[in-house]
Structure 1
């Protein structure tokens, strides 16, 4: 029998990252009665303004690894009991993998697959693992130099893209660099792809080059899951992406849970094959040319879209916590399918781009907001982060109004 609430003597949880993703996980665990705190090296993230639990500003584990380890050990001691740690950002997945020996005496986490989780946090390793374990991928090459990229484009079918191994690598590019902050960059020709690579070649030469999987945003799906000790699947949900931001190549801004046995089986076989334990999101796309489901990326952590699984009746953060502390868990599947999950900070900026491209009408958009909705970043009980979301959405709405009367230029693609 799976417990519904924590008992008073159960271990606390440290959520690593208090961007809205980790904050939502904190909220869900606190509502289950789990003593929960957050840590993050970015003081601008929502957890530092939230009413859900306390968040601590920690050193950056990439730039100050030893200071981060010392901070985390000190925090565990202050909590008074050996806590569970659950990463909600790649930077902390990687840090946990690098410092497992220093932290395993102070925190509860999955020692079974921490190396696999750390490997999946880098693009080149996750594609290699997918190829080894039967999860189809688009034509992909790990690039370390211009010569590598020239070799790739000589045989590639365009359009293609390049993307960093970790998102934070391009986030750290200098101000003014056209790739700074981008998730990826696309190109219709070899010349354009090589020109784009020139902006990162001297600073971050390691990228992943890939042929683009054919199809729109509505050809994309996410498999949201949690695996327990021994690789047993404890819960999963498949969601269908309806929109994304940026359009065509961004993360889902509106999704809905569906039953798709092909995708569930394909992703389950992959994660069992690599011996995965923990929380994982796998984003895939059903190629419109041949119907083959191919990997876009795997996120070996609690993700933005993971919040949709909770709404569907599979609380993957809670199930993961129970498994880590040795409590029994009965496997669960999604039971609440009749709703759409919306990330307002992504969806509102995406809407005028869909309209400008002729992919949707405003009537289509209005209809998509009818019926039962669940929100990633709108919570009446947590007004400060919600106010920031609404402020951002209001700025976008004003821009849309000004463009409609010709006072602002059309949005770039």
Structure 2
């Protein structure tokens, strides 16, 4: 299934539009690609390590800080980049974006300094603290009537292991994850995972002990397991402008998620689709909380009642954001309209049905058990399949990397998720 372009990219850079990105993963490249397609922008990427997703690219320049770079050194590097751009003749004020929770939190902590040199599409501090916390997210959903899994919160703030309550009412197995990934990134321990499947009370007690020993000092959420494999998951991407209007809104049905311990839950394949009820609930949450900037919701259809249950909102656009741009709603447009052009934008909704995938079709089809869904996805893929890193303006080194990375996915899935399971674990 070829990755064929549906929309021509800009012939020349658009004056006044510039972009600086903090980080270096697939999602960062996807943002750089969106700005390049629409505005011809050559982005500046500041990162500790120039890894495959952003290496040898024609559409961005990299500033490599080294793996030992501190948060303060990252901020100083950004300030230098911003000052250099401002000092040039006709210098522009770039948009500054990050696409990892801890990096978004870092930008927010230095918003006054950075705001002098960059456009910062960031949430207010109090809103960021609330929505980036999975425990608070669950409470907010219950408050406004947005469906969410039943949740119990364990608090490690005191430094001692919290008491594990009776959780029989949730049923086993359960799902456990950090309330805030920015806090979780600071600890390390054997068996650390992004999301844990907890079979029984003994396993939960063991996890609590390991977290305490590792020095974890935040909250951990324990939730009921919503049945269903990866194909029950949905992704919703949005942008809320400075006036509080949702100017970008779209979604996709996930087909396969990554299953390596550190990336568990990141979509590896999905197709764009209309989700009217889920979109309505997403807008309700965004408006209720006073949200601003990019948002990415994780949602799952509960087969027991057919209800879409909201798991979390990421205070950033998400690693898989290119599905929006590929389907006709370029994710660069709303932030440029908001901060640079200062104009109202009619809500952008992707209209094209496309298959987004970073894995080869022969691997993907192995995990789509439902024959009707498999046939539908195959037909969509024949019309248009996109890989976020496969961009026709790139050179031979990039093309070789994309081929190698795609093939490497086969090895990773056979190692970590050799066959589909009923619950996606």
Q: TM-score, length-normalised on structure 1?
A: 0.82
SS in structure 1 opposite 2:170? coil
One of 324, 327, 330 as aligned partner of 2:339: 324
Distance 1:21 1:409 in 2: 22
Q: Is the 8 A contact 1:244 1:350 kept in 2?
A: no
SS in structure 2 opposite 1:234? strand
Shift of 1:30: 2.3
Shift of 1:210: 1.4
Corresponding residue number in structure 2 for 1:220: 233
Shift of 1:305: 2.4
- Tell me whether 1:293 sits opposite 2:308 in the alignment: yes
Q: Is the 8 A contact 2:154 2:164 kept in 1?
A: no
One of 120, 138, 156 as aligned partner of 1:109: 120
Instruction: Check 1:271–1:374 CA distance in 2 against 1; reply closer, same or farther (3 A cut).
Output: same
One of 263, 266, 271 as aligned partner of 1:251: 266
Shift of 1:251: 2.6
Corresponding residue number in structure 1 for 2:34: 28
Corresponding residue number in structure 2 for 1:39: 46
Shift of 1:89: 1.8
One of 211, 226, 240 as aligned partner of 2:253: 240
Distance 1:326 1:83 in 2: 13
Distance 1:312 1:117 in 2: 28
Structure 2 spans left out of the alignment, 5+ residues: 1-8, 87-91, 420-424
Instruction: Check 1:166–1:111 CA distance in 2 against 1; reply closer, same or farther (3 A cut).
Output: closer
Distance 1:186 1:94 in 2: 27
Corresponding residue number in structure 2 for 1:273: 288
Aligned length: 394
Instruction: Check 1:29–1:288 CA distance in 2 against 1; reply closer, same or farther (3 A cut).
Output: same
Q: Is the 8 A contact 1:282 1:297 kept in 2?
A: yes
Distance 2:417 2:345 in 1: 52
SS in structure 1 opposite 2:117? coil
Corresponding residue number in structure 2 for 1:187: 198
Q: TM-score, length-normalised on structure 2?
A: 0.80
Distance 2:408 2:331 in 1: 34
Distance 2:344 2:163 in 1: 47
Shift of 1:290: 2.0
Q: Is the 8 A contact 1:93 1:301 kept in 2?
A: yes
Corresponding residue number in structure 2 for 1:13: 19
SS in structure 2 opposite 1:239? strand
- Give the aligned CA root-mean-square deviation in angstroms: 3.5
Instruction: Check 1:371–1:76 CA distance in 2 against 1; reply closer, same or farther (3 A cut).
Output: same
Compare 135-144 and 328-337 and name the one that shifted more: 328-337
Structure 1 spans left out of the alignment, 5+ residues: none
Which one has more relative contact order, counting CA pairs under 8 Å at least 6 apart? 2
Q: Is the 8 A contact 1:69 1:102 kept in 2?
A: no
SS in structure 1 opposite 2:306? coil
Instruction: Check 1:111–1:310 CA distance in 2 against 1; reply closer, same or farther (3 A cut).
Output: closer
| CA deviation profile, 1:189-222 (whole Å, cap 9, x unmatched) | 2222222343333112532221122223222211
One of 340, 344, 354 as aligned partner of 1:339: 354
Q: Is the 8 A contact 2:30 2:321 kept in 1?
A: no
